[in-house]
Amino acid sequence: MAASPPVIVHPPTPSGGRRVTLRGRFAGLAHGRGDVAEFLRRAGLAPDSEDIDLDDPELIEWRGGDLDTWPEPQG
């Protein structure tokens, strides 16, 4: 069985953000691709947030939508 990616971007929340976990630990609530990249940069997974391949399935698992799924907050 293949190991799961170290980064999980969870389904959108009613607030429009998406929870991000790094190796099972909560990293923050992302509201766009840039937030995800910044969480990975801060965790040392890339020297520069612009060098991160957010489509890499060995690095990131996108749940409840892909990297373009960022709904508007409800309410």
Average pLDDT across the chain, whole number: 88
Please state, for a pLDDT cut of 90, what percent of the chain lies above it. 65
Check pLDDT > 70 for residue 54: yes
Q: Containing domain of residue 50, as a range?
A: 7-62
- Beta carbons of 8 and 63 less than 8 angstroms apart: yes
How many domains is the chain built from?
1
Q: Is the pLDDT of residue 1 over 80?
A: no
User: The tokens of 66 are what?
Assistant: 């892909």
Cβ pair 51, 41 in contact under 8 A: no
Angle at 56 (CA atoms; ends 55, 59), nearest 5 degrees: 125
Please give the average per-residue pLDDT across 16-27, as a whole number.
95
Q: Which residues contact 59 (CB under 8 A, 6 or more apart)?
A: 5, 6, 7, 40, 45, 52, 53
The answer on pLDDT for 75 being more than 70 is no
Other Cβ atoms less than 10 A from the Cβ of 52: the count is 21
Task: Return the higher-pLDDT residue of 37 and 2.
Answer: 37
Indicate whether 74 belongs to any domain: no
